[in-house]
Amino acid sequence: MLQSTIPPHEKRAAFRAALASGTLLRMPGAFNPLSAQLIQDKGFEGVYVSGAVLSADLGLPDIGLTTLSEVAQRAGQIARVTDLPALVDADTGFGEPMNVARTVQLIEDAGLAGLHIEDQVNPKRCGHLDGKEVVDENTALKRIRAAVLGRRDPNFLVMARTDIRGTLSDSTQGMRAAIDRAKKLADAGADAIFPEAMASLEEFAAIREAVDVPILANMTEFGKSELFTTRQLADVGVNIVIFPVSLLRLAMGAAERGLETILAEGSLTSKVPEMQTRARLYELIDYAGYSSFDEGIFTFDLSHNRDS
Ligand SMILES: C[C@](O)(C(=O)O)[C@H](CC(=O)O)C(=O)O
Ligand SMILES: [Mg+2]
């Protein structure tokens, strides 16, 4: 009730242990705290907090307009209602290396299990769009170094994302650069690597081969990567898979069709079977738990007053 009873440091330790187990952790993107509760209820291993979703939620494009405070607050709202570890997209870290250290601390304070910092220039853009640019190696490594030095809980996961693959039109050159950068980011202290915009399973396998730390696969729709199955990704040694924007896309698709139905049919009667029921919603947010808590307090107060 009210929030997860598992403190953040325990979620982080559990996340580290799960990563060490070698099984693939499936982390769909929660578009709000309620959807994080659904992700937990369905038996997933973690929750992802996407920058693309966070900005879209505010009606903004994903071009680095959101602030650290907005991201930390929303990520914290999501992390606190689930027992699962939550990993947040911290874009380019919100500034220079010193800012990155502060970003890590605020995100730690918000109860997250980890974050990822990418090597794009500011203003960043969606990793699956063309025309991205990355910072030089030294700047990329400094961001990660600062993140690692900034954290207080050693189990807080600092993941480095590299967007370099998509900045080179020749795929062989792109992969060579991605492998090189992934290795150096890991050497700089990154606990995990997020190789962005991999085009094939072979490319994921090549990154897997190059580094000893866990790697993440981004199964975002309408992007550069084919949508591989969890089995395929596990087979090439991927440790975490995110479906960052998928729940938002599904929900918005349903919302759009619902609005069109009101216009066309004058009511939503035909859509009711597709809706989450009131009972299911109440179950997810543990309505019953709040009622009995409230009742307990009410009863306690009455007897207390009578005795005094
Ligand atoms: C993972 C990602 O960084 C995100 O913000 O969720 C995006 C997802 C997307 O825009 O589809 C990305 O850059 O891949
Ligand atoms: Mg993002």
Number of neighbours of residue 37 by Cβ within 10 angstroms: 23
Atom of ligand 1 nearest to the CA of 245: 6
For the whole prediction, is pTM greater than 0.80? yes
Q: Whose CA is closest to atom 11 on ligand 1?
A: 220
In ligand 1, the atom with minimum distance to the C-alpha of 29 is 6
Neighbours of ion ligand 2 (CB under 5 A): 51-52, 89
Close Cβ partners of 29 (under 8 Å, ≥ 6 residues apart): 47, 48, 49, 50, 53, 242, 243, 244, 245, 246, 247, 248
Ligand 1 contacts (CB < 6 A) are 50-52, 62, 89, 126-128, 218, 220, 223, 244-245
Query: What is the model's pLDDT at position 221?
Result: 97
In the prediction, which pLDDT does 118 show? 98
**Cα 274 to averaged position of ligand 2 atoms, centre (Å):** 30
Residue 186: predicted pLDDT: 98
- What is the reported pLDDT for 297? 80
Taking the centre of ligand 1 as the mean of its atom positions, its distance from the CA of residue 186, in whole angstroms, is: 21
Whether 278 sits among the annotated catalytic residues: the reply is: no
Taking only the tens of pLDDT, the chain with its 308 residues reads: 889 999 999 999 999 999 999 999 999 999 999 999 999 999 999 999 999 999 999 999 999 999 999 999 999 999 999 999 999 999 999 999 999 999 999 999 999 999 999 999 988 988 888 888 999 999 999 999 999 999 999 999 999 999 999 999 898 999 999 999 999 999 999 999 999 999 999 999 999 999 999 999 999 999 988 999 999 999 999 999 999 999 999 999 999 999 999 999 999 999 999 999 999 999 999 999 999 888 888 777 655 555 54
> What's the pLDDT at 126?
84
Ligand 1 atom showing the smallest separation from residue 196 Cα: 14
pLDDT value, residue 302: 56
Ligand 1 center from residue 277 Cα (angstroms):
30
- 305 catalytic? Reply is no
Cα 54 from Cα 35, distance rounded (Å): 13
Encode burial over 78-109: b for 16+ CB neighbours within 10 A, e otherwise. Answer: bbbbbebbbbbbbbbbbeebebbbebbbbbbe
Q: Is 89 tagged catalytic?
A: yes
In the numeric block, the tokens 């991927």 are attached to 238
Residue 126 designated active-site: yes
Structure confidence at residue 301 (pLDDT): 63
116 labelled catalytic: yes
Shortest-distance ligand to the CA of residue 243? 1
Write down the pLDDT at residue 109.
98
Calpha distance 36→4 (Å, rounded): 11
pLDDT at site 304? 56
In angstroms, how far is CA 93 from the centroid of its own chain?
Answer: 15
pLDDT for residue 306: 53
Mutation choice for ligand 1 from 74, 126, 161, CB with most ligand atoms inside 8 A? 126
